[in-house]
Amino acid sequence: MFNAHINVEYCNSVKSIKYICKYVNKGSDMAVFGVAPENSHDEILQYQMGRYISTNEAVWRILSFPIHDRHPVVVHLAVHLENGQRVYFTAANAAQKAVEPRATTLTAFFQLCETNEFARTLLYLEVPHHFTWNASTKKFQRRKQGTSVDGYPGIFRTDALGRIYTVSPANIECFYLRLLLVNVHGPQSFQHLRTINGQMCATYREACHQLHLLEDDTHWDSTLRDASISSPPNQIRIFAIIISTCFPSNPLELWNKYKDFMAEEILIRLQHRSNDPALLPTLEMYNEALIMIEDLCLTIPNKALGQLGLTQPNRPMHDLFERELQREQQFDRDGLRAFVQTYTPHLNDQQKDAYDKVMQSVNDNTGGLYFLDAPGGTGKTFLISLILATVRLERKIALALASSGIAATLLDGGHTAHSAFKLPLNMQAIETPTFNISRSSGMAKVLQQTSIILWDECPMAHKKSLEALSRTLQDLRQSQQLFGGALILLSGDFPSNVACYSEINTS
């Protein structure tokens, strides 16, 4: 009809509008590529060649309109626990910095409330309205311009905004400290902040509860009440999911209300064992139920009950993490023996060569780094499964890893490398990444005692993952050898016409 090609875009959602505006306003769209002699880099010429000014921007500049502006002023406000602020120090001034750390906006706010009557009427968020933050002196100073505040001569108000840094609910005490800061006027110290009606609370969470700042747990109470009517105790222990992911305001109250139902299974077992139907729940039974709940919590957010607002069960700290070690040792040895006896004769010559060399290194405990390179479908997973079964049959630990979830499911007891080692997601952006594994964790014990680590689909992983694994094993195993002297078998498929097996030089 118009004798022209017309592109019509129908925006049926906000996402579509965002997509179009993104490309309309994306700015410069010119790229320059060239090969120049060494030491001939001209930044001015490069800027002139690469700068593109559209007609809209040219008119805007000709009319002398502002190119950018920021209004209102936003002041970032720190939030941290007592003595939890970030401190920069050197070996020379470390002791002085520990005794006299630099003030933050939070500690300066407390000092301001001690000396200034008007500041005691303000919330932490409202301070930037009336005071400016002096970064050199680390103090708040009165604003000299703005709208006068009635009843307070010399005090002015502007439209500046204060922004408190966000805190994850997983950081429990700091999260509730932040909640108090946005609701309590003029606190003069950390202790004053959690003092309610003249009585200082033990935790910031308790102070929030006393001020009725937390929602009640009616929803979770009804959930557990319904479960206690018709569900067995192991299902009632969904309580672990509630306290670890949903952050109820008073988990201890919920536990005390429904602990009999969560420990019912243990009570029935002991009644049958003692032949005493009148046996009543004891503290030992509740403690065993708490241990079961804590095991679930350690699986989900990797937190103990003491970190989630509940009473810590009575067991040694090292037992909290023995489950990781037990999981790598609990295999059916009869099934493993049958698997090894059945499939070892089916190895071809190359597979048999790889199998013998790896098992010799396992038996001699010499460590080393090997790479199994073969195209898909040539039996890598079969060989790895046989090595795993043989090592575990000898009551040794063999850790099975894979770079992808699908590959991990093909290995008996397999994990993805990210879930097992807690790899950082921005691996490529970190100069020297490390694994988030503490010395007291179960995975640390597994890595210290493992006889072999098998990593399938390794070419999919970033090279820094292996470097981080080597540094972690050196630290955990107290050895400066490559990978701490552990035996590492990497597996994958690099472009190749033939399947091959190679040993990487570790010197």
Interatomic CA distance for residues 234 and 268, integer angstroms: 13
Report pLDDT digits (tens) over 442-462: 778 888 888 999 998 888 888
> Residue 267 pLDDT more than 70?
yes
442-449 vs 463-476: helix axis angle to the nearest 10?
90
Query: What pTM was computed for the model?
Result: 0.49
- pLDDT tens digits for 142-172? 999 999 999 899 899 999 999 999 888 778 8
pLDDT, position 498: 39
CB of 478 closer than 8 Å to CB of 357:
no
Q: Check residue 495 and give its pLDDT.
A: 54
C-alpha 354/C-alpha 349 separation (Å) is 9
Res. 503: pLDDT tops 50: no
- Range 333-503: architecture per CATH: 3-Layer(aba) Sandwich (3.40)
* 403-427 pLDDT tens trace: 888 888 888 888 888 888 877 777 7
Domain span(s) for CATH 3.40.50.300 in the chain: 333-503
- Strand 161-164, strand 74-77: pairing: parallel
> How large is the average pLDDT for residues 307-312?
83
Q: Where is pLDDT greater, at 49 or 454?
A: 454
* Buried-state track 103-137, b at ≥16 Cβ within 10 A, e below 16: bbbbbbbbbbbeebebbeebbbebbbbbbbbeeee
Q: pLDDT tens across 204-251, in order?
A: 988 988 898 887 788 888 888 888 888 888 888 778 888 888 878 888
**Residue 435 in contact with residue 423, Cβ under 8 Å?**
yes
